């Protein structure tokens, strides 16, 4: 029997920004066949938006396609697995918008020349959320 796994991206939330390595760490909240999963991901701000989008989608798809594969000797399609990402075209655009929002916030943080509000801006990265 062919197993079908449907992935729906729900939210991305920045958990940490490391200004020394210029890396953002975030939680990616997805639903796999209706069950919520939280994936820990990271990206370097120097990467292009399209490359980031493609890498994240590929990593998620790969992670859920390798998880708990079932094989039955009698079933010809026993090892077949179909992984579907719901609303794929909209997701591509939404991921790029999320990365743009994070990069813009980092740019604003780096261009800050006053000490006033510095810590609030630095800890403000934890508040960046994006609903898909």
pLDDT at 11: 95
Residues 22-38 have a mean pLDDT of 93
**Mean pLDDT over the full length of the chain:** 84
pLDDT at 53: 94
Looking at residue 64, the DSSP 8-state letter turns out to be H
Model confidence pLDDT, tens digit, residues 58-70: 999 998 887 655 5
Separation of CA 87 from chain center = 15
pTM above 0.95, yes or no: no
Does the pLDDT of residue 10 top 60, yes or no?
A: yes
Q: Where exactly are the structural domains of the chain?
A: 3-131
Residues 14-18 have a mean pLDDT of 90
Listed residue (116, 96, 8, 109) closest to 47, CA to CA: 96
Q: What are phi and psi of 99, to 5 degrees?
A: -65, -40
């Amino acid at each position: 029997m062919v197993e079908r796994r449907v992935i729906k991206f729900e939210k991305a939330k920045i958990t940490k920004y490391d200004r020394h390595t210029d890396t953002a760490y975030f939680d990616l909240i997805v639903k796999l066949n209706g069950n919520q999963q939280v994936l820990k991901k990271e990206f370097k701000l120097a990467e292009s938006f399209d490359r980031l989008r493609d890498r994240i989608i590929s990593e998620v798809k790969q992670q859920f396609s390798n998880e708990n594969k079932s094989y039955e000797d009698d079933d010809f399609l026993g090892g077949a697995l179909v992984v579907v990402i719901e609303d794929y075209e909209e997701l591509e655009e939404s991921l790029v918008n999320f990365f743009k929002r994070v990069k813009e916030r980092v740019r604003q943080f780096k261009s800050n020349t006053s000490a006033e509000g510095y810590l609030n801006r630095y800890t403000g990265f934890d508040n960046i959320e994006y609903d898909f």
